[in-house]
Every structure is written in C-alpha cells, then in structure tokens.
Amino acid sequence: MLRPRWFAIGQALPPRLRLTLTLLSFLLPVAAWGLVSYVPWIWHPFVRVESAGDVTWFKPGLLVERSVFAEENLKILAAGGHAADGSRANPVFLPAPHEVGRAFWTAFHAKPQLRGDLWLHESLWVSIRTIFWGFAISSLIGVPLGILCGAYAPISRLAEPMIDFVRYMPSPAFGALAVAVLGIFDAPKIAVIVIGTFFQQVLIIANTVRRHDPALVEAAQTLGARPWQLLRRVIVPSCIVDLYNDQRILLGWAWTYLIVAEVVGVSSGITFFINQQAKYRNFDNVYAAIIIIGVIGLATDQVLAFIGQRIFAWKNPRPSRIRSFFARLFARRPVVMLVEQTTPPTNPA
Amino acid sequence: MSAPADFILPDYRVQTPAVAERFRRLKERPVVLKVEDLGREFASNGGTVTALRKINLDIHRRELVCVIGPSGCGKSTLIRIIAGLDAPTSGRMLVDGKESSGPSPERGMVFQGYTLFPWLTVTRNVMFGLEMSGMDKTQAESEALQWIDLVGLGRFKDSYPAQLSGGMKQRVAIARALAPNPRVLLMDEPFGALDAQTRAQMQAHLLEIWRNIEVTILFITHDLDEAIFLADRIVVLKANPGEVQEIIEVPVPRPRHPDQVNSPEFLATRRRLDELIHPRTVHAPAEKLPIFRMTQAGDDVE
C-alpha cells in the first residue's frame, strides 16, 4: 500500500484524511478555547469571590485581580479576620464554550430581555435582507458594467480610472451622506454595502473577462459571429465559471461591510443585537451572534459552490437534478440532460 | 525519411499523363480564392519587419493546396490574413471574384489548438456557425447531427470537448468549420498537436471528407510528407521576407494511399522540398557544442 506523503507538492489528500483535517481545522481552535476556559491554572487572571470573608468591599460573584485578592486576604489575616474565598476565573469577555453554546440555545428559545428588542433570528433576518439587497443592486449594475469593461477597451478606459479612484474611499465614509440622502432606516445601510461592493466588483469582473481565451473569439469570428454575439455567446460563457466564483468572493466582502453599514442611521439587525448584548455584558450572546454570522457565510458559500459545481455541466459532466431543473426552466422545449457515457471515450481519432 | 542523395529519382516535375490531365482540368475550374500582391509588415522596435511580400495565389474550386515553409516564413500570418483575423498592409484577397476582408463564414478555419467551446456539447459546437447565420435551432441541430455523423462521432454528440481525445476534438472542429458551408476551408497546422498514428488517420479522414464535400482547402503544415500526401499543389514559402519560393504540382496520382510514400514521385517531390526548405548550407556540419568529456575512459556509447 502506498502511504500518502503529507508534504508532497500538489498531491491530493485521501478523502478520509481530508475530512479529518477539515474537522480538525474547526476543532483545534475550539479545543484551545476550551483549554483556556476549563483548565484553572491556564491564564485565569481573576478570582471570582465566593464568600467575602471580612473584606468589606468583596461581594460574592465579584471578579478581582489575583494579586489584589491575595493582598486583601493578607491584610485581613494580619488583622485577624476571616479570609475571603474564591476560585480562579477568566475575564467576563471570554465566556467558556458551553456558555456560548447555551447562549445559542436561549437566543432562539428565550424571550428577549427588553420589550421591543428583537430575537436573534429576527435580527439576523434583517441583516440578511440588507446584504441581499445591497449585493443584488451592486451586481445588477456592476456585473454588466464589468463585463463591458473587460470586453471593450474604450469602455474600460472610460469607466475604470474613476472606479479605481473611488474604490479607495472607505464606504463607511459615505454613511453620513447616505443618511442625509436616503433617511435613517434600511436604505442608507444598503447604500453603504452597495458602495463597498460595487467598485471592487466592476474591477474584478472586468479583470476576469479580460482573461478570456482570444482563440475562442477568433474561432467564433470565422464562424460568422457578430460583435454582440461574440460577447453574449462566447466571451461571457467562456468565463462564466470564474465570474460565478468572483461573485462568491464578493458576497463575502459584502458581509464584511455589514457591521459598519448597520450602525449607519438607526442601528439595526445583527449589529444592534451585538451592541445591545455587549452593553448588558452578555458576552456569550455576542459570541453566539458573531459565530452565527460565520456559519451563515460559510454555509452560503458552500451551497453556492455546490450549485456551481452542478450547473456548469462541462466542468463536471455527470447528471444533476439542479442542472436539469435550470435547463428545463430556461429551455423552451423538453431537454434530455443525461449524458450517457458508459465507456470512457479514450480511443484515439 | 529523406531519400539518399545518390538514389536515382525522376524529376519532380514529370507527371504521368493521368496526373497531367487532372491538373489541366483542375486549372480550368473557376478560381475560388485569389490572393493578389498580398503584403504584411509589422512595426518592430526601430523599424518595420516584412512578414509577407507580394504573395500571389490562385486556388481553384475543390483544390487542396498546402502551404509549407521554414519557421518564421509567415505561413500562419498568411492564413490568418486570408481568414480575416489579421489585415494585410498591401494587396487584396478575392473570394469568388469579390474582394473580401474581415472574418466571414465563407472562409471557415480549423486551428491547431482545436478552439472548441468547452461549455458546449459536440452538437452545440457544430451548431454554433449555423445559429450565427440565423438558422432556427431545430434545423441547425438536425444539420449539425449530419456533420457529426460525417466525421464519425455520432456516439459522442452529447459529450463535452474535455471528454474527447485530441483527434476527436479536431474532427469536431472540422465538422464545426464545414457546417456553415464555407467556400474555403482554412486549416492552420490542424494535426500538429496529434501523435503520429492519429495524424495519419486524420489525414486519411480529411481526404475522405474533401472527396465528398464541395469545399476548397488551404492547408498549412510544417510536415513535408503531410503536404505531399494531401496536396494537389504545394506552395513553398521562404523566410525573411516571406515570399513564394515555388509552387509545386504534386505528381503523386490520386486517390492517395499511405503506401505511395515510397513511390518515386513521392520521393522526388520530397527531395525537392528538402532542398527548398533545408538548403545544403544549413544541413552542413552542425556547429559543435562546446562540451568536454565527463564520462570515464572506455565507457563509450557510440
């Protein structure tokens, strides 16, 4: 049996090992977090007071720095009083994994503490809606413009220098302006995401389109394709997979603008939830909310990757329900999707 | 390969009566592609480089003409200009007597790099040119399927190019170029990337297709045997600047067969091409590499 060599360049890992490493990539940080949280002699710079003894300003539950705690006890013992008792603890901003886990549970099951506060899932839904509209509006203009820039040099020269200039302006800087123009509710937040995404989007899409294979364009020309057909039938399809992956990356960027976007005007969505919980010093809730953003982001990306793999048939030529669904949706007549391929077509010529 | 110099071969210009009669009839056919005083210059740092100078060519209906020449003689530039993918700096080109420029489906092209559309199935690839001409999908598909059958790939009509071997890809490319019914089929070293066996099969396929289809072929190659095997006439270019050196009428009778490779006519033509493409001065003792001996004494391989 061939033993897999771990550090061979460009060698694919066996599936089992791949899965193990993927799991470890999540489990190792969690394990480190658990170690710091549960093993009392690692870090734990505070002492949580359990019984105050004779120290006047100690109260049960109070977090005191270890050195201070020891000093006070020494003083009290010297004065002949009862020493305070306590156990080592981490600062309040580092809750243990199980506390964050519990926060997940309660966030979805317990009523918000204040009337008028939103549930976690309601906050999330507001955020997802903001992202969706921001990204959709940006893509609606950015993708076609990027494609035109990539295909036609004059359009690229006309549009790109200015876009290149604007993209260095941080989109939150437009926040105040957006509020003045669009009001204080959802519109300015969407605007900040659009501004943050759009300019990068045009440049990235243009760059991808510019990398198309000119030989395919020439082939299409000798087959009688006119300029507009070249764009629609050759250039765009030839980079569609890369464009799709660009959009996946850009969607991730849109998420990074979310938190700053949501403090524009009336704070809303997941950001409002996080800020509110931080104010109450419920850091377990804060972590739960941050982690859930990560989970949503990763899940969306994985779903998009999966869909991409399935709809771009030529990259992955095997029958797929998603693909046949889309094909039937857009075709005007019934289509047979199965590529029946019993023997690999390797016989030459 | 090349015939020994002392081997007595006929003159490559001697034709049997049948071959001569064939050429006489061929030249009576109308000229499909006419290239007149075609020139192409490229601007290079500090001057111009003449890639092609005063190229004149008459290609008759259903003729198969090969263009060969040393590397850098501009044969690819020539075929790109004829395809309309590059513009000449002087001269002109006529198709069926009408001046023509820019790419057009009347001049189909097969490229060395296949250039199939990877996102389309074999059928959709072949349909491409038909759809561009405005034909409706159903009709385009049924015509495309005929072309696919013609190149013998009926079983693979729903495959994607990535699933095909090099020879199969090039057959799809030929079907795709032929489907819009071009007057001239331009082929730019189409079999250059194939292994020797596949290449021989493809040459036979091409002759078979050419025999049955109303099409005129201009074929670029650097393989001398391929040129002799395929061509009615061979246009020999020379480099710096690219000019027509000689147009050879291939005396090998048709129909062609691989066994003819050792016939006197074939060898005579081959020797003439060798003289033109690799002049003796170039063949003369190759420059010795400045290598000193690094093996043990007595450990000789030759």
| Chain B residue numbers touching A340 (CB-CB < 8 A) | 158
Average pLDDT on B214-221 reads: 94
Gap between the Cα atoms of A318 and A79, Å rounded: 83
Q: Chain B 193-222, CB below 8 Å of chain A: which residues?
A: 194-195, 197-198, 201-202, 205
- Cross-chain residue pair A222–B103, CB shorter than 8 Å: yes
Gap between the Cα atoms of A294 and A301, Å rounded: 11
pLDDT of residue A3: 66
pLDDT in tens, B238-256: 888 889 999 999 999 988 9
| Chain B residue numbers touching A343 (CB-CB < 8 A) | none
Contact, B116 vs B126, CB < 8 A? no
Residue B4: pLDDT band (50, 70, 90) is low
| Chain A residue numbers touching B120 (CB-CB < 8 A) | 237, 314
Residue of B nearest to A315 (CA): B119
Q: Give the nearest partner residue to B133 out of A213, A224, A317, using CB atoms.
A: A224
Taken in order B95, B99, B103, B105, the sign of the CA dihedral is: negative
Average pLDDT on B27-54 reads: 90
- DSSP one-letter code for B180: T
Interchain contact B159–A (C-beta under 8 A): yes
| Chain B residue numbers touching A239 (CB-CB < 8 A) | none
pLDDT in tens, B147-181: 999 999 999 999 999 999 999 999 999 999 999 99
Higher pLDDT, A337 or B218: B218
Bridge-partner residues for A51, per DSSP?
A: A85
| Chain B residue numbers touching A213 (CB-CB < 8 A) | 115
pLDDT of residue A318: 64
- The number of CA neighbours under 13 Å toward the Cβ of A30 is 11
Average the pLDDT over each of A114-118, B44-48, B61-65, B189-193 and give the range with the smallest value: A114-118
Is the per-residue pLDDT at A78 higher than 70? yes
**C-alpha dihedral over A185, A187, A191, A194, to 10 degrees?**
120
- Cross-chain residue pair B105–A223, CB shorter than 8 Å: yes
- DSSP one-letter code for B142: H
Q: What is the 3-state secondary structure (H, E, C) of chain A?
A: CCCCCCCCCCCCCCHHHHHHHHHHHHHHHHHHHHHHHHCCCCCCCEEEEEECCCCCCCCCCCEEEHHHHHHHHHHHHHCCCCCCEEEEECCCCCCCHHHHHHHHHHHHHCCCCCCCCCCHHHHHHHHHHHHHHHHHHHHHHHHHHHHHHHHCHHHHHHHHHHHHHHCCCCHHHHHHHHHHHHCCCHHHHHHHHHHHHHHHHHHHHHHHHHCCCHHHHHHHHHCCCCHHHHHHHHHHHHHHHHHHHHHHHHHHHHHHHHHHHHCCCCCCHHHHHHHHHHHCCCHHHHHHHHHHHHHHHHHHHHHHHHHHHHHCHHHCCCCCHHHHHHHHHHCCCCCCCCCCCCCCCCCCC
One-letter amino acid at A237 equals: P
Q: Chain B 1-30, CB below 8 Å of chain A: which residues?
A: none
| Chain A residue numbers touching B159 (CB-CB < 8 A) | 317, 339, 341, 345
Gap between the Cα atoms of A346 and A349, Å rounded: 9
Is the per-residue pLDDT at A327 higher than 60? yes
Residue of A nearest to B81 (CA): A222
Q: Chain B 169-198, CB below 8 Å of chain A: which residues?
A: 171, 176-177, 180, 186, 194-195, 197-198
- Cross-chain residue pair B165–A347, CB shorter than 8 Å: yes
pLDDT of residue B300: 83
Q: Give the nearest partner residue to B103 out of A221, A229, A346, using CB atoms.
A: A221
pLDDT of residue B62: 93
Optimal mutation site among B112, B120, B128, interface A, most CBs of chain A within 10 A: B128
Coil, helix or strand for B220?
strand
- Cross-chain residue pair A349–B198, CB shorter than 8 Å: yes
pLDDT in tens, B175-185: 999 999 999 99
The distance of B151 to chain A (nearest Cα, Å) reads 10
Coil, helix or strand for B186?
strand
Contact, B64 vs B22, CB < 8 A? no
pLDDT of residue B15: 87
Residue B124: pLDDT band (50, 70, 90) is very high
The distance of B104 to chain A (nearest Cα, Å) reads 5
Taken in order A234, A239, A240, A243, the sign of the CA dihedral is: negative
Average pLDDT on A47-74 reads: 88
pLDDT of residue A221: 94
Query: Please, what's the b/e burial string for B71-84 (b: 16 or more CB within 10 A of its CB; e: otherwise)?
Result: eebbbbbbbbbbbb
pLDDT of residue A339: 46
pLDDT of residue A142: 96
- Cross-chain residue pair A223–B104, CB shorter than 8 Å: no
- Which two three-digit tokens encode residue B71? 């590397």
Gap between the Cα atoms of A192 and A239, Å rounded: 29
Average the pLDDT over each of A253-267, B73-87, B192-206 and give the range with the smallest value: A253-267
Query: pLDDT exceeding 70 applies to what percent of chain A?
Result: 89
- Which two three-digit tokens encode residue A94? 């580092």
- Which two three-digit tokens encode residue B222? 């650097």
- Cross-chain residue pair B180–A312, CB shorter than 8 Å: no
pLDDT of residue A348: 45
Average pLDDT on A223-228 reads: 92
Is the per-residue pLDDT at B74 higher than 70? yes
As a whole number, the mean pLDDT across chain A is 86
Q: Give the range with max mean pLDDT: A111-115, A152-156, B14-18, B284-288.
A: A152-156
Contact, B232 vs B41, CB < 8 A? no
Residue of A nearest to B80 (CA): A218
Coil, helix or strand for B140?
helix
- Cross-chain residue pair B166–A219, CB shorter than 8 Å: no
Is the per-residue pLDDT at B3 higher than 80? no
pLDDT of residue A133: 96
Bridge-partner residues for A87, per DSSP?
A: A48
- Cross-chain residue pair B133–A240, CB shorter than 8 Å: no
Interchain contact B158–A (C-beta under 8 A): yes
**At B93, phi and psi to the nearest 5?**
-135, 135
One-letter amino acid at B127 equals: M
Interchain contact B101–A (C-beta under 8 A): no
Domain ranges of chain B: 1-106+182-302, 118-180
Gap between the Cα atoms of B296 and B270, Å rounded: 42
Helix (H) or strand (E) holding B269, with range, is helix B264-277
Query: pLDDT exceeding 90 applies to what percent of chain A?
Result: 41
Is the per-residue pLDDT at A27 higher than 80? yes
pLDDT of residue A279: 87
Average pLDDT on B23-28 reads: 93
Coil, helix or strand for B278?
coil
- Which two three-digit tokens encode residue A96? 């243990």
Q: Does domain B1-106+182-302 sit in CATH 1.20.1080.10?
A: no
ipTM of the complex as predicted: 0.88
| Chain B residue numbers touching A238 (CB-CB < 8 A) | 117-119
**C-alpha dihedral over A169, A172, A173, A174, to 10 degrees?**
100
Count of other CB atoms within 10 angstroms of residue A306: 11
